[in-house]
Amino acid sequence: MGVVAWLKSLFVLQLLIGFVFVVSGLIINFIQLCSCVLWPINKQLYRKINTRLSYSLWSQLVMLLEWWSGTECTLYTEKATVDKFGKEHVIIILNHNYEIDFLCGWTMCERYGVLGSSKVLAKHELLKVPLIGWTWYFLEIVFCKRKWEEDRETVFSGLNRLRDYPEYMWFLLYCEGTRFTEKKHQISMQVAESKGLPKLKYHLLPRTKGFTTTLQCLKGTVKAVYDVTLNFKDKQNPTLLGIVNGKKYKADMSIRRFAVEEIPDDEKECANWLHKLYQEKDALQEHYEKEGCFPGPTIKPKRRIWTLLNFLFWATLLLSPLINFAWDVFVSGSPLLIIGFMIFLIVASVAVRRLIGVTEVNKTGSSYGNTEAKKEN
C-alpha cells in the first residue's frame, strides 16, 4: 500500500471529510430555508439560487468519486449525442444495479453543467433523510410512495410544476423501481411471466407508470430521453464505502439518445416502448458480459476542477475552527471537555455511516410481487 492509499484509508481523514459534508450541508439547508421567502416574489430566482446551493453539496460527493478515489468514467456513445449534453431538458433512464450508480450519473451531470439542476423521481422515505432529503425538498424533487392511488395527484402536480424550470435539467428515472438483487430478480421475472412479457437477465421488469407519466407531464419541456446502461470493468462491485476508502473503479456507460418525437404518445404503446428498451438494455449487458465493453465509439470527458475547489472552500472554512477547538480541548486537560469531544466524534462517525448506509444494496427494499407492484405496471 502506497503512502497516498494509506492516508485515504485513515479513519480520521474520512471522518473530517464526513464532518465537512454534514456541517456544510446543514448550513446549505439553512440558507435554502431562508430562500423560501423568494418563492412567492420571484420563483425563478429562488430556483437559480437553490440550483447553486445544491451543487455546492452534491459536488462534494462527486469530488470523492473523481478526485479522492480517482474513479474513471468512459462513455460509449456518438459525438453528436455528447454535443447535446447540458443543452436540453432530458429524461435519463439508468439501470439500478450498483450502490454508486447515482454518483456515476452525478459525475456526468457535473461535467456537463447540470448537477445542481438534476432531478429524480424519488421514494418518499428519502424525504426524511437529513441533508439528502432536505436538499431535494428545496429542489422541488418529486417524491412518491410507489402506490399509484396515493401518488397520482402528488406526482402530476410536482412534474407539472417543473415545466417552466429555468435551468437545463436531467430528470433521472430508475424505471426498475428498486435496486437489482438476485431475490428481487426472481420475483420480477415471475411477474414478467404472469404478464406474458419477455424475461430479462440483467434487469428487473420496468415499472412503466412513472415513465409514461413523467413523459406526459414534461412533454414540450423535455426534448429527449437518454438511455444509460452502466457497468464496471473486471466485474467490480463498487460501494460508497469503497469510494470513501479511496478505492478506484472503472465505470463504462452506454448512452443512447431518443428524441421525444420518436416515443409513442399513447400510454400503452409508450409502455411497450419502454419494455422493448429494457430488452435492448439487457442485450447491451449481455454484450458487456462477453466482450468486457459496450459496442460503439468511446469518449472520456475530463473531470473539472470546480468540485475540488468547492470542497477545499468548505474544508478551509469548517476545519480550521474545528482543529483549533480540538487543540484547546486537549490542552485544557479537562476530562469533562475531552470526554464530551470524544462523544461528539463518535456521534459524528455514526451519522456519517448512517448516510452511507442509505446507498447499501442490502438496505433497500422491494415491492415486486405484491399487489401494489402489480397495479403500478
Structural domains present in the chain:
70-303 (3.40.1130)
335 versus 56: the higher-pLDDT residue is 56
DSSP annotation of 99 = T
Strands (E), 47-95: 72-76, 90-94
Residues 250/298, Cβ–Cβ less than 8 Å: no
pLDDT digits (tens, 9 = 90+) for 58-115: 999 999 999 999 999 999 999 999 999 999 999 999 999 999 999 999 999 999 999 9
Distance between CA atoms of 180 and 366, rounded to whole angstroms? 9
Confidence label for 317 from pLDDT (cuts 50, 70 and 90): very high
C-alpha cell at 193: 411471466
> Residue 377: what pLDDT?
45
Quick one: pLDDT at residue 250?
96
Q: Which amino acid is at 40?
A: P
Pairing of strands 250-259, 72-76: parallel
* DSSP code, position 296: S
Reported pTM: 0.88
How far is the first Cα of the chain from the last one, in angstroms, to the nearest whole number? 49
DSSP string for 138-171: HTTPEEE-S-HHHHHHHHHHHHHHGGG-SS--EE
Tell me the pLDDT tens digit for each residue of 346-356: 776 676 666 66
